[in-house]
Amino acid sequence: MSFDLTAYMADRAQAVDRALDRFLPRESAPPASLHKAMRYSVFAGGKRLRPVLVAAGAEAVGGTLEAVMPAACAVEMIHTYSLIHDDLPAMDNDDFRRGVPTSHKVFGEAIAILAGDALLTLAFRLLANSSPAGGEAGRLRDMLIEVADAAGSAGMVGGQVADIECEGKVAGAAIVDYIHTHKTAALIRASIRSGAILAGASAAELKALGVVGDSLGLAFQIMDDILDITATSEELGKTAGKDQAQQKATYPAVHGIEASRRRAQALVADAHAALAPFGERALPLRALGTFIIERKA
Amino acid sequence: MSFDLTAYMADRAQAVDRALDRFLPRESAPPASLHKAMRYSVFAGGKRLRPVLVAAGAEAVGGTLEAVMPAACAVEMIHTYSLIHDDLPAMDNDDFRRGVPTSHKVFGEAIAILAGDALLTLAFRLLANSSPAGGEAGRLRDMLIEVADAAGSAGMVGGQVADIECEGKVAGAAIVDYIHTHKTAALIRASIRSGAILAGASAAELKALGVVGDSLGLAFQIMDDILDITATSEELGKTAGKDQAQQKATYPAVHGIEASRRRAQALVADAHAALAPFGERALPLRALGTFIIERKA
């Protein structure tokens, strides 16, 4: 069961980039500054992990990236909007992201806030325009609710609130788990499951992919925390060591680096176990799990 | 054709308030600060004009408010999120709105930004959960796209960008029209049409309601500009005279107060003409048009 993840990710990421370029408004259309800012952050690099997970989720149940492309681009836009807003001076106050100046440093705070707003809105427009397997309204609705719940106050935005409110305080294991599962894992879970919903997944398949999403999502954020400590700013494309400097509630801060790494490995093992019934169709998701704990940046 | 608009608006607004209370997360659920901020701004007053227009749009084609309630609440959440973000220090920097301190004055900038984000996301969750007439997926999709386009970079957010970028410059008639049709009229148009789409409107009906929405939306914003000059802060519940102080691009600034008032009256006459084929079902929309040019705050 060998699988070339590097080629797979490169291929899917290129297709996603072409689709993002089609779906985003032209810079020449007014208001140009806003469209420029939207494109600047979407095309500022990034691995396209979430769109690739939408594809892998669809493929695990027999679908294709092509058929779920609007949803794949939508989750990337939601991720990008969250980064733009998180980086604002009123939040994490970050000057660099993915190796380039953050949106508000280039376009000013007002345009950065509005570019985030517009990306979130465009994401839901794309999701609405998805074509569910069999043309079923129920699937379209389920998928929209899946993504909205993951992105909203009970998901990603809620996690960001907890993250901000914990800064500088001594955070326990429970609050770190809350932040990580909400701020990061929720959208990763929704990425995998939304692709699967659109591709016609059964209830049992969706349940298993929920376990996969929870596990990979949390493992991803734990490794992110570890890399913030062990990697250089150059490798990360953003300021390394920022979590500790800002006294962020992180997994290694609570559990130590080694225990954190073991926890991430155990989570990916859980994901691999949950993927067993999917057979060869889940090769991309399996490989993405391994990638999450082995990546260097 | 007498119609008691005051009673109609009070009745619909009360039903919308009860539904908003049901749809918004409890303050007791974490993160409490975020949910408190979301509720604070949604329940800080306001006429519920947009939800009432969703109801009136549905009723014009034989529907009911009850059947379009999630959409009615969704457009109010989108309107509220836009006010929270517009009031931020990086944008219009307003300390008061609807007679009470703005969100960032009470909760801080970070929570205000995130409360706006969460309201926008919840709005799309509610829209996704709407029940279109006949259970048709096509109608659900059309309605979602209608609202997303009105709220996004080619609609409300685009208008806000132009508004900010024009501050302090001498704006011509074309740019003022662009700002007003995008920042305000787009969501008013989408409110009327989304109710009608969900209630099963025909293509011809939707076209007519588009004319109604464009006309009432622009008339509403022109009257808003006029009231900013002629009303007191107490009447408005926000700082009067702010447009002139901030050198905003407004209709009266370009055309003068009297010509602006005549233009608003002509627009409402256009709306009334477009509503003729709807007969008695359009009484609420007709009365809302008259209200828009006669209101004092």
Q: Which residue has the higher pLDDT, A29 or B1?
A: A29
Alpha carbon of A91: minimum distance to chain B alpha carbons (Å): 6
Instruction: Report whether the peptide linkage leading into residue A31 is cis, meaning its omega lies within 30 degrees of zero.
Output: yes
Q: Is the CB of A91 inside 8 Å of chain B's CB atoms?
A: yes
Q: Is the CB of A19 inside 8 Å of chain B's CB atoms?
A: no
Nearest chain B residue to A139 by CA distance is: B137
Q: Is the CB of A57 inside 8 Å of chain B's CB atoms?
A: no
Do B110 and A90 make contact, defined as CB atoms within 8 angstroms?
Answer: yes
Q: What is the three-class DSSP state of B146? A: helix
CATH number of the domain enclosing A182? 1.10.600.10
A255-293 confidence digits (pLDDT tens): 999 999 999 999 999 999 999 999 999 999 999 999 999
Confidence at residue B233, expressed as pLDDT on a 0 to 100 scale = 75
Global ipTM:
0.96
Which of A108, A148, A164 is closest, CB to CB, to B121? A148
Alpha carbon of B265: minimum distance to chain A alpha carbons (Å): 29
Structural domain count of chain A: 1
User: How many CB pairs below 8 Å do chains A and B form together?
Assistant: 152
Confidence at residue A1, expressed as pLDDT on a 0 to 100 scale = 54
Which of B85, B128, B145 is closest, CB to CB, to A117? B85
Q: Are A253 and A241 in contact (CB under 8 A)?
A: no
Give the orientation angle of helix A186-198 with respect to helix A156-166, to 10 degrees: 170
Average pLDDT, chain A: 94
- pLDDT tens across the length of chain B (297 residues): 579 999 999 999 999 999 999 999 999 999 999 999 999 999 998 899 999 999 999 999 999 999 999 999 999 999 999 999 999 999 999 999 888 999 999 999 999 999 999 999 999 999 999 988 888 888 999 999 999 999 999 999 999 999 999 888 877 899 999 999 999 999 999 999 999 999 999 999 999 999 999 999 999 999 999 999 998 877 777 777 888 888 888 999 999 999 999 999 999 999 999 999 999 999 999 999 999 999 887
Confidence at residue A252, expressed as pLDDT on a 0 to 100 scale = 94
Q: Is the CB of B70 inside 8 Å of chain A's CB atoms?
A: no
A208-240 confidence digits (pLDDT tens): 999 999 999 999 999 999 999 998 877 777 777
Confidence at residue B73, expressed as pLDDT on a 0 to 100 scale = 98
B244-249 long-range contacts, CB within 8 A, separation 24+ = B246/B92, B246/B167, B246/B168, B247/B167, B247/B168, B247/B169, B248/B163, B248/B166, B248/B167, B249/B162, B249/B163, B249/B166, B249/B167, B249/B169, B249/B171, B249/B175, B249/B176, B249/B179
Q: Is the CB of A65 inside 8 Å of chain B's CB atoms?
A: no
Do B160 and A108 make contact, defined as CB atoms within 8 angstroms?
Answer: no
Which of A31, A91, A136 is closest, CB to CB, to B110? A91
- Indicate if the pLDDT at residue A249 is higher than 70: yes
- Domain of B46, in residue numbers: 5-294
Whether the full predicted model's pTM is greater than 0.90, yes or no, is yes
